[in-house]
Amino acid sequence: MQPTVHARIEELLYIHGSVANRMLRTLRSGVSVCVTVTLLDGLVLARSAFHHSMNYRSVMILGTATEVIAEDEKRRALTAVVNRVLPGRAASVRAPDASELAATTVLRLPITEASAKIRTGPPLDAEPDYVLSCWAGVLPLELTARPAIPDPRLPSGVPVPDAVANWSVGTRR
């Protein structure tokens, strides 16, 4: 599956995109799908090339997606997607109009079969390699926000919302 913004409401995962999106057209036909989400936490640098790795948190959700047809569920799913990007954002922007809803495919995937995998910790080298003088360890990584860049067409005087100015990984759901 290609990268796309997703949202979870209870035990359903929602994905969306253009009605012209070939991947979504294929998925709504009833084929099996595997959706994966991975968060990269660090680079694991070992003493040997073979033992290099990454620390991560990952989940795979397997199943069959169905298209959301009911307008109220479609709107609820799209609101959740916008709020996934920035919590509370849907309340401060214009909701999709009828033509935007018609141009958007929303699929629901029940979360009934899933698998999670996590890797943490230092490198796991072969025992003889621990005496090598090559540096080994973990380079922790994190997602941080830089200062917001206003749209060039934004009217002057519109302040950056607090949720944008103070965004951090901890503010996401």
Predicted confidence at residue 168, as pLDDT, reads: 82
How big is the CA angle at 101 (ends 99 and 103), to the nearest 5 degrees? 70
Predicted confidence at residue 32, as pLDDT, reads: 95
Give the pTM: 0.87
How big is the CA angle at 39 (ends 34 and 44), to the nearest 5 degrees? 120
Query: Is the pLDDT confidence value at 76 over 60?
Result: yes
Query: Is the pLDDT confidence value at 170 over 90?
Result: no
pLDDT tens for 19-38 read 999 999 999 999 999 999 99
Predicted confidence at residue 1, as pLDDT, reads: 62
Domains of the chain, earliest start first: 6-142 (2.30.110.10)
pLDDT tens for 88-121 read 999 999 999 999 999 999 999 999 999 999 999 9
Phi first, then psi, for residue 59 (nearest 5°) are -140, 145
Query: Is the pLDDT confidence value at 173 over 60?
Result: no
Cα distance between residue 173 and residue 10, in whole Å: 13
Q: Which residues contact 44 (CB under 8 A, 6 or more apart)?
A: 51, 52, 53, 54, 55, 119, 121, 122, 123, 138
Strand partners, 55: 42
